[in-house]
Structure 1
Amino acid sequence: MIRNFAELELDPNLLLAIEEMGYDRPTQIQAEAIPQALDGRDILASAPTGTGKTAAFVLPALQYLQDFPRRKPGPARVLILTPTRELAMQVADQARALAKHTKLNIFTITGGVQYQEHADILGKTQDIVVATPGRLMEYINAERFDCRAIEWLILDEADRMLDMGFGPTVDRLSTECRWRKQTLLFSATLEGKGVEGFTADLLKDPAEVDAEPSRRERKKIAQWYHRADDMNHKLELLKKIITDQAERSIVFLKTRERLGELRAELEKAQIPCAWIQGEMPQDRRNNAIARFRDGTVNVLLATDVAARGIDLPDVSHVINYDMPRSADVYLHRIGRTARAGKKGNAVSLVEAHDQPMLDRVARYVKEEIKERFIKEMRPKHKKPVFKKKNKKKDDKKKTAAKDKKKVAKKKK
């Protein structure tokens, strides 16, 4: 069991940067992925956001570049692909903070940036480039970016790249970087599309790292729920929690329409908020995130699509105004709080029809989610009870019915 970063055999300059960033001990994903990557293995990792995955691939990459320093100036040696521009900027910022005491150059290549800015970068020596697949491919096609020097290829949020239709582009980039030594793939889950959407030769005999956030890491998040009789009651509960309990909260909704309605209600109640949703112009999205980041507003409304991959500091409460469609999305949502070793709270506002989903979530996170009450706002309705299907009984009934049919046929 690795208890501190010094045990990971990292350079003193990296350890100093880690200490300055306030990390005391490696998270599970870091403790498992870093040694394997430094041993030269390809990595296939499942890591939900909030588990410290960025450092899990950035640290071994920085260590590798120092263990094998370049002999002459030239193009990038490590390529990190991310699905969105915001995530690319976040990863690059964290990489720069970790590389603070080295002389390594870290650049981003993303959409929404003028060609001239990129041309200046491409003319310099780069060590690590963090890029979005589409824009990078444009430069490769125009012969402005050279992939032959890439030694490490890292895919962050690989499942989301597939969701966004980047599968074929990533496969092409993999072919362009065919002289690389190592590939690291990080995805929220290892089932389904997380990996199967890419060509089989992307990874060679990878070490599999599955970092469900440990109970200890999840314990930092207090989870509870309030029952709501109807939409009105739910809205009043939310306003009370935002004004009385929460310092900085992200409120999750399941659709853009619902987000619009809640936004109007909060404006009426004079509760300032920012919001992000799918298909939103990039500048407005950046502006909303910046307002929340710098504390201009302390409430951020978000849909699931919009919130994947954003890292916001000091979120005290994640509030599920609408329950998510699946239990793993719940885990993604609550991972926005209690980051970097801090404590956090996850509150769900639950109407009668949400109760089965809450039960499913509790089974998935393997802990009981307790009910709490706000004194003057207790629900008037009784808690609904949903009968569990008795599988054995059902199977017996089906078998009996089949036997009856067989007997009836024979009689005929």
Structure 2
Amino acid sequence: MIRTFAELDLDPTLLTALEEMGFDRPTQVQAEAIPQALEGKDILASAPTGTGKTAAFAIPAIQYLEDFPRKKAGPARVLILTPTRELAMQVAEQARQLAKHTHLKVITITGGVQYQEHADDLAATQDIVVATPGRLMEYIEAERFDCRAIEWLILDEADRMLDMGFGPVVDRLSGECRWRKQTLLFSATLEGRGVEGFTADLLKDPAEIEAKSSLRERKKITQWYHRADTAEHKLQLLKHIITNDAERTIIFLKTRERLADLRAQLESAQIPCAWIQGEMPQDRRNNAISRFRDGTVNVLLATDVAARGIDLPDVSHVINYDMPRTADVYLHRIGRTARAGKKGNAISLIEAHDQPMIERVARYTKEAIKERFVEGMRPTHKKAVFKKKKKDTAKGKKPASKAKSSKKKSAKKK
């Protein structure tokens, strides 16, 4: 396993930029993806937010452009597709930081930008273009963007592009970039629709990489939970944490309905908050994120779908107001805090029915998640104990004695 960026045989300009950005050791996805990409292989990577995936494709792309400099001015050679405008901006910003000691030009093509601004950028030489699929397709159809020079095609958050209905557009873009040498696809998960929604010929014999949030990163996050007797008790605990302990907090909820309810409750308690949820107009979403970013509000409510792909600096607390459906999603959520070497906190507020999930998360992460108490708000109920599921027992619904009753009796009842 590669331990330092120096071992990757990178250009000195890149190593200097990495040092200035405070990157000392590659993350798992970087250590696995960068060498294979530089060897000319296609990449199929599962990488949750917080695993350093942007640098995992931006570093080899910049190195490639430095190894094979262009002979004359012309259009972009690397195309990075992202599902949303804010993610495109983040990716472009990181690519610019990495390329700051080179002569490479990075531009973005997204919605919400004046046509003339893009036209001016496209008329000049560019090296890396970061784009959203829909807007880029408009420029291709207007013959304003030439894909024939693209040598690397990179798809970031591919599964989210499918969720947003960009599958057919991405397949068309893949066809437009058919002269490319390499394709790199990054997705939060490789299961289900993660990749299968794209055409089979998108990748050629790719190197498969599966990155989990590193234990080293997670150790910077202090995790604990509070038990709540009722929904009202849970709300009181949340208000206490927000007003007394937390500085900048993201609160996760399961559904848009649950988010709307909590938003109303916090507003009536005079706790200002911003919120993002699925199927939200882009301008309202951008407004909510920028209000949280600039500190106008310090509480952001989010559903899992909406929060994918946004990188928010200086988040001190992640609060699971609703527990997620899987341990994997729990890791995605808590990865929002403790970014860029900082420490963070992850708090779960759980009711009795959530107890099996918090235990499953602890087993999955191989870390103890301890219970804490707020004085004056201790739970009055005993901690729920759920027996490990056997095939013939329903999930905590039947007592063990009844579960052992003869199958014949239940068959007769039917």
Same fold (TM over 0.5): yes
Query: What's the TM-score bracket when you normalise by the shorter of the two chains?
Result: over 0.9
Instruction: Indicate yes or no: 2:79 matched with 1:99.
Output: no
Secondary structure at 1:328 match in 2: helix
- Gap regions ≥5 residues in structure 2: 395-402
The corresponding residue for 2:33 is 33
Q: CA deviation at 1:393?
A: 8.8
What is the alpha-carbon distance in structure 1 between the residues aligned to residue 308 and residue 391 of structure 2?
Answer: 36
Do 2:213 and 2:335's aligned partners in 1 also have CA atoms closer than 8 Å?
A: no
Structure 1 counterpart of 2:180: 180
Is 2:45–2:185's contact at 8 Å kept on the other side of the alignment?
yes
- In the alignment, which residue of structure 1 is the partner of 2:397? none
Deviation at 1:347, TM superposition (A): 0.5
Offset of residue 308 of structure 1 = 0.7
Do 2:51 and 2:214's aligned partners in 1 also have CA atoms closer than 8 Å? no
- TM-score normalised to structure 1 length: 0.93
RMSD: 2.0
Runs of 4+ in 1 over 3 A off after TM superposition: 391-394
Q: Does residue 206 of the first structure (1) align with residue 206 of the second (2)?
A: yes
**One-letter amino acid matched to 2:384:** P
State the partner residue of 1:126: 126
Give CA-to-partner distance per residue, 1:133-168, whole Å, 9 cap, x none.
Answer: 111112212222111100000000111111111111
CA apart distance, 1:387: 2.8
Equivalent residue of 1:107, what SS?
Answer: strand
Shift in Å, 1:52: 0.6
- Please say if 1:383 is aligned against 2:374: no
Distance 1:292 1:41, change over 3 A: same
Aligned to 2:136: 136
Query: What's the secondary structure of 1:118's corresponding residue?
Result: helix
Q: What amino acid does structure 2 have at the position aligned with 1:29?
A: V
CA distance in structure 2 between the aligned counterparts of 1:97 and 1:294, rounded to whole angstroms = 21
Aligned to 1:78: 78
> Partners in 2 of 1:2 and 1:225 — Cα distance?
36
Q: Report what 1:89 is aligned to.
A: 89
| Mapping for residues 335-354 of structure 1, pairs under 5 Å | 335-354=335-354
Please identify, of 330-339 and 279-288, the stretch whose mean Cα deviation from structure 2 is larger. 279-288
Contact 2:273–2:300 (8 Å) recurs in 1: yes
Query: Take 1:366 and 1:198, find their aligned partners in 2: how far apart are those partners?
Result: 34
How many angstroms does 1:392 deviate by? 8.0
- Conserved 8 A contact 2:14-2:101: yes
Q: What is the correspondence of 1:388-403 to structure 2 with a 5 Å cutoff?
A: 388-391=388-391
What is the CA–CA distance in structure 1 between the aligned matches of 2:225 and 2:392, rounded to whole Å? 32
Deviation (angstroms), 1:357: 2.5
* Distance of 1:202 and 1:337 partners within structure 2: 34
Whichever residue aligns with residue 350 of structure 1, its letter is: I
Q: What's the counterpart of residue 109 of structure 2? A: 109
Identity among equivalent positions (%) equals 83
Q: CA deviation at 1:214?
A: 2.2
Structure 1, unpaired ranges of 5+? 406-412
Please tell me the residue identity of whatever aligns with 1:382.
K
Q: Which moved more, 1:254-263 or 1:55-64?
A: 254-263
1:263-296 Cα deviation digits (max 9, x unpaired): 2222233322222222323222222211221222
TM-score (norm: length of structure 2): 0.92
Q: By how many angstroms is 1:105 displaced?
A: 0.8
Q: Whole-Å Cα distance in 2 between the matches of residues 393 and 308 of structure 1?
A: 36
Q: Matched residue of 2:148: which SS? A: coil
Distance 1:203 1:375 in 2: 56
CA contact (8 A) 2:229 2:351 kept: yes
Displacement of 1:101 in angstroms is: 1.1
Amino acid at match of 2:382: K
**One-letter code aligned to 2:221:** I
Query: Is 1:161 aligned with 2:156?
Result: no
Q: Give 3-state SS (helix, strand or coil) of 1:377's partner.
A: coil
SS at structure 2 position matched to 1:3 = coil
Match of 1:410 in 2: none
Structure 1 residues 137 and 347: alpha-carbon distance in aligned structure 2, compared to 1, 3 A threshold: same
- The aligned runs of 1:260-409 (5 Å cut-off) are 260-391=260-391
Q: Secondary structure at the match of 1:275?
A: strand
Query: Displacement of 1:47 after TM fit?
Result: 0.5
Structure 2: distance between partners of 1:324 and 1:200: 32
For 1:108 and 1:308, locate their aligned partners in 2 and report how far apart those are by CA, in whole Å. 20
Counterpart position of 2:191:
191
Report the CA distance shift for 1:401/1:322 in structure 2 as closer, same or farther (over 3 A): closer
Q: Deviations over 1:273-323 (max 9, x none)?
A: 222222323222222211221222221111212111000011111001111
> In structure 2, what is the Cα distance between the partners aligned to 1:75 and 1:276?
36
Residue of structure 2 in register with 1:5 after alignment: 5
C-alpha contact 2:76 2:125 (8 A) present in aligned 1: yes
In 1: Cα distance, 2:141 partner to 2:61 partner: 26
Following the alignment from structure 1 to structure 2, what is the Cα–Cα distance between the partners of residues 240 and 381? 20
